[in-house]
Structure 1
Amino acid sequence: MSKIGVHSFVWSAGSSRNELEKALENTHRLGYKLIEFSYLDPKQVDVAWLAGRLRELDLDVAISMGLPPEGDISSDDASVVANGTDILDRAVALVRDLGGTKLAGILSSAHGKQERALTRQSWDTSVATLSKVADRAKTAGVTLNLEIVNRFESNMLNTAAQGIAYIRDTGASNVQLHLDTFHMNIEEADVGLAIRHAADKIGYIHIGESHRGYLGTGTIDFAAIFDALVAIDWDDYVTFESFSTAIVDKDLSLKTAIWRNLWDDNIALAGHAHRFIELGLETARRKADLVRQAHVPV
């Protein structure tokens, strides 16, 4: 069986107990095994209750986030870097307290379109800062998964190869890549080859369509992606991510430019996505088996 997750913004952008409960129940009912939340403020959410419900429903959890400009750990301003460090440490603690192991997203710099090119100083500051966060995260049993995003959402990590170089510079074993097919479709020369090249550094994967809507209705070559995942023996989560103006988070919707209503029925959307991913991976496995079979007459 495939390990398939879903982003909670498929269900709701809210964090009230009722909204979280509905998201958990929908996730469980449709056969997903992990739910990903954008960062939840422990002051607004009963973390102990949420951790308990995750255990009761046998759901894994991941937390994703993007650093704000005032918490950019690649900044030349030491106070901004210190604030970003605190944000990351709090996020690691949240993952730990929810019983999860994955913190993902834009963790190396601010999330959003930048107005200047990346400098070596910014790269080095980010690497040094994240390395220290990673040391503390390791004690908490948490991996830091660096999302590789398109040029309009970061000026630092736009390709898997850049992410590999960043991980190398950190020297940390619990810093990994968070690959997202939506972003890779924009930036990579070949998405399947990039997955193969990054194989041993990947910690988390987002599956999303080129327009953020129903899988298979855009331009992404998912067959090649599923083939690559099977080729590298990927056995961890692939998480479905989709956005529509049907559900709006005022911060993330602006940063990711969600201007169109690509779906209204999130149950139909998520059910289709689960079937699409499961069948895609199964088909890729069957193709790989056929390629390896040698039908020699006896």
Structure 2
Amino acid sequence: MKIGIHSMVWVGDWNADAAREAISKSAETGYDLIELSAIAPETFDTALTAKLLEEYGLECSASLGLGPDTDISSEDDDAVARGRERLHLALNLVRDCGGTMLCGVIYGALMKYSHPATERGLDNSRRVLAELADKAKESNISLGLEFCNRYETNVMNTTAQTLEFIKSIGRDNITAHLDTYHMNIEEHSIAGAIRQAAAAGKLGYVHVGESHRGQLGTGSINWTEFLGALKEVEYDGIVTFESFSSKVVHSTFSNDLAIWRNLWDDNVELAKGARQFIREHLGA
């Protein structure tokens, strides 16, 4: 098992100084991996990022959420085309930095919709993701579909929906990306959802985030159930700590996720505490 941390615990943007700060602090606080926020993958200096990852002995993954103008689950062909381009840039970022996972809300826009997903829109999403998965397979990269709560997507809100969507695409390198923050809102049984994903062979990536997106163990997530279920199914993949505060997070991302207040001020203390919490519960 590899323990990761989201880059936005450290920095909101990604430039030379931010990259060194985020990667060095991730290593210094005991993490194995940093999850790069690929909101704008075209702005990344991938050569520098790869060099810093090697210097500090870290691995990486990358995640993003598409927006209304890049929504591949839309019926707007132009938005779908822009989304496809954004996803392929993000895939190139993962490849060039030596990562093996591109995940997040890569199947539609991260936003509150005013209507259910349409069949045409869902077909667009499947088509783009199938093509992306084929391209990813050439570089031994997997895709993780992060289902979100009903206020952030209309495509998939539960593990069961995600597994069905993955099955409909028919690519073996597409997996389910489980996130405790969203599961705490939508699932009937967190442990049952983990068992279901594991039984399907699609438990590919895990986010651990508290109910209020702050420090682990200080909210309402049932960590004994969640982490116990991961041990039960012998999950040995990536577990990434995700937490956001308006003190650090990128302004656009802050608006998308409704991060309106500072949930913490000291990100080093936050990261160390989360790493210790994970270690104690998983023995990782």
Cα distance between partner residues in 2 of 1:169 and 1:40? 27
Q: Quick one: structure 1 residues 75 and 19, their matched pair in 2 at CA, closer, same or farther if it must change by over 3 Å?
A: same
Aligned to 1:58: 57
Letter paired with 1:209? E
Q: After superposition, where does 1:68-79 map in structure 2 within 5 Å? A: 68-79=67-78
Are the equivalent residues in 2 in contact too, given 1:93–1:140 (CA < 8 A)? no
Aligned to 2:282: 281
Once the two structures are TM-superposed, the CA of residue 46 in structure 1 deviates from its matched residue by 2.1
Cα distance between partner residues in 2 of 1:92 and 1:263? 31
Once the two structures are TM-superposed, the CA of residue 15 in structure 1 deviates from its matched residue by 1.3
* Greater mean deviation of Cα atoms: 196-205 or 42-51: 42-51
Deviations 1:109-144 (A, max 9, x none): 111101111122222221122111111111122111
Secondary structure at the counterpart of residue 113 of structure 1: coil
Does 1:240 find its partner at 2:241? Answer: yes
Aligned to 1:123: 122
Aligned to 2:143: 144
Once the two structures are TM-superposed, the CA of residue 44 in structure 1 deviates from its matched residue by 3.3
* TM-score, normalised with respect to structure 2: 0.96
Letter paired with 1:17? A
Aligned to 2:251: 250
Aligned to 1:224: 225
Q: Quick one: structure 1 residues 115 and 42, their matched pair in 2 at CA, closer, same or farther if it must change by over 3 Å?
A: closer
Aligned to 1:289: none
Cα distance between partner residues in 1 of 2:109 and 2:271? 30
Cα distance between partner residues in 2 of 1:197 and 1:223? 18
When Rg is computed on C-alpha atoms for both structures, the one with the higher figure is 1
Once the two structures are TM-superposed, the CA of residue 65 in structure 1 deviates from its matched residue by 0.3
Cα distance between partner residues in 2 of 1:104 and 1:42? 13
Q: Quick one: structure 1 residues 82 and 42, their matched pair in 2 at CA, closer, same or farther if it must change by over 3 Å?
A: closer
Secondary structure at the counterpart of residue 43 of structure 2: coil
Once the two structures are TM-superposed, the CA of residue 247 in structure 1 deviates from its matched residue by 1.0
Are the equivalent residues in 2 in contact too, given 1:71–1:80 (CA < 8 A)? yes
Are the equivalent residues in 1 in contact too, given 2:39–2:64 (CA < 8 A)? no
Cα distance between partner residues in 1 of 2:98 and 2:238? 16
Q: Quick one: structure 1 residues 164 and 240, their matched pair in 2 at CA, closer, same or farther if it must change by over 3 Å?
A: same
Secondary structure at the counterpart of residue 63 of structure 1: strand
Are the equivalent residues in 2 in contact too, given 1:64–1:105 (CA < 8 A)? yes
Aligned to 1:185: 184
Once the two structures are TM-superposed, the CA of residue 42 in structure 1 deviates from its matched residue by 5.5
Aligned to 1:156: 155
Aligned to 1:87: 86
Does 1:264 find its partner at 2:265? Answer: yes
Secondary structure at the counterpart of residue 233 of structure 1: coil
Secondary structure at the counterpart of residue 216 of structure 2: coil
Aligned to 1:291: none
Cα distance between partner residues in 2 of 1:133 and 1:12? 28
RMSD between superposed Cα atoms in Å: 1.4
Secondary structure at the counterpart of residue 198 of structure 1: helix
Q: Which runs of 4+ in 1 moved over 3 A?
A: 40-45
Cα distance between partner residues in 2 of 1:151 and 1:161? 14
Aligned to 1:215: 216
Cα distance between partner residues in 2 of 1:62 and 1:42? 13
Q: After superposition, where does 1:168-207 map in structure 2 within 5 Å? A: 168-199=167-198, 200-207=201-208
Aligned to 1:7: 6
Are the equivalent residues in 2 in contact too, given 1:92–1:140 (CA < 8 A)? no
Q: After superposition, where does 1:93-132 map in structure 2 within 5 Å? A: 93-132=92-131
Cα distance between partner residues in 1 of 2:45 and 2:150? 36
Cα distance between partner residues in 2 of 1:43 and 1:89? 10
Task: Provide structure 2 residue ranges, at least 5 long, that are not aligned to the other structure.
Answer: none
Q: After superposition, where does 1:39-50 map in structure 2 within 5 Å? A: 39=38, 41=40, 43-50=42-49
Identity percentage of aligned residues:
45
